């Protein structure tokens, strides 16, 4: 089981080090934290895997505000999130750029958590399957890549997908792409065990509830119950 904490734009270097000093991860779970870029160095050496929240496809160049896979590897970062819905919705990320970022990161030797998920409108319009198939088709096949299914309407809203709905989406993704699939979207200590007990769910990508060591550790424990 894999439990990844996406910290988004929270926690500077000092808070990152404090969090990880306090965090107690049970055996049998791989815990990953994804701090903001300036906090990556301070996340190293605490016994958890450290991923960036994004990675560019070029090695270097005139790409203001971007960071390359080689720079992350030099720092000791193990992997990166790619295509998070906030990147897709707020920063113009497309299936094309998601593919480029994934390919280059994997080629360079990073692991990748590639994110997919339908919006509320797409679900209401009955387009969930089409959207997931299209997003998954853009994601390369590789041993070092896992997919995270995060329905956009469940992110940060407190609305979690029902177990049936999550299971169905994960089955669809796995039929298109043989990989582990994490569930994300309002995962909390209270709902984590039920979700992660589903056969098609291989772990969790956690936002808000990953910001406190106690709740992140509780979700890690739920992953192995
Ligand atoms: P949430 O975020 O757990 O706060 O809903 C999940 C994510 O955005 O990865």
CATH of the domain at 70: 3.20.20.70
Average pLDDT over residues 177-204: 96
Whole-number Å distance between alpha carbons of 167 and 53: 26
Domain tally, the chain? 1
Average pLDDT, integer, range 16-41: 97
CA–centroid distance, residue 113 to ligand 1 (Å): 14
Site to substitute for ligand 1 among 7, 117, 156, most atoms within 8 A of C-beta: 156
Catalytic residue annotation: 84, 150
Query: How much is the mean pLDDT over the chain?
Result: 97
First-last CA distance in the chain: 11
What is the C-alpha to C-alpha distance for residues 209 and 190, in angstroms, rounded to an integer? 10
Q: Which of 2, 6, 152 to mutate to test the pocket of ligand 1 (most atoms within 8 A of CB)?
A: 6
- Per-residue pLDDT at 16 exceeds 90: yes
Which residues' Cβ are closer than 6 Å to ligand 1? 6, 150, 155-156, 184-187, 205-209
Whether the model clears a pTM of 0.95, i.e. scores above it, the answer is yes
Give the nearest ligand 1 atom to 184 CA.
Answer: 6
pLDDT tens profile 59-88:
999 999 999 999 999 999 999 999 999 999
Domain of 55 in residue numbering reads as 2-222
Ligand 1, atom 2, lies closest to the CA of 207
Q: How far is the CA of 46 from the centre of ligand 1 (A)?
A: 23
How confident is the model over 4-14, as pLDDT tens digits? 999 999 999 99
Q: Please say whether the beta carbons of 76 and 106 come within 8 A.
A: no
Ligand 1 centroid vs 207 CA: distance in angstroms? 3
| SS3 (DSSP) at 187 | coil
Instruction: Give which of 97, 106, 90, 85 is closest to 148, Cα–Cα.
Output: 85
Q: What pLDDT score does 161 carry? A: 87
Chain segment 38-63, per-residue pLDDT in tens: 999 999 999 999 999 999 999 999 99
Q: Could you tell me if 46 and 21 are in contact, meaning their C-beta atoms sit under 8 angstroms apart? A: yes
> Which is nearest to 144 in space by CA: 55, 80, 84?
80
pLDDT surpassing 90 at residue 159: no
Q: Which of 9, 85, 185 to mutate to test the pocket of ligand 1 (most atoms within 8 A of CB)?
A: 185
């Amino acid at each position: 089981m894999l439990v990844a904490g996406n910290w988004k734009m929270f926690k500077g270097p000092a808070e990152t080090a404090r969090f990880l000093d306090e965090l107690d991860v049970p055996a049998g779970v791989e815990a990953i934290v994804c701090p903001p870029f300036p906090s990556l160095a301070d996340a190293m050496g605490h016994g958890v895997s450290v991923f960036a929240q994004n990675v560019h496809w070029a090695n270097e160049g005139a790409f203001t505000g971007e960071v390359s896979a080689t720079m992350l590897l030099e720092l000791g970062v193990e992997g990166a999130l790619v295509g998070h819905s906030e990147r897709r919705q707020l920063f113009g990320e497309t299936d094309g750029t998601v593919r480029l970022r994934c390919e280059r990161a994997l080629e360079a030797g990073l692991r990748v958590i590639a994110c997919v998920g339908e919006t509320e409108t797409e679900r209401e319009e009955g387009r969930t399957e089409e959207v997931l198939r299209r997003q998954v088709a853009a994601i390369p096949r590789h041993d070092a890549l896992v997919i995270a299914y995060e329905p956009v309407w469940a992110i940060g809203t407190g609305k979690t997908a029902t177990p049936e709905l999550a299971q169905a989406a994960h089955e669809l993704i796995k039929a298109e792409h043989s990989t582990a699939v994490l569930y994300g979207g309002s995962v909390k200590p209270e709902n984590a065990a039920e979700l992660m007990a589903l056969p098609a769910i291989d772990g969790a990508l956690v936002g808000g509830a990953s910001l406190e060591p106690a709740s992140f550790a509780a979700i890690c424990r739920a992953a192995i119950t």
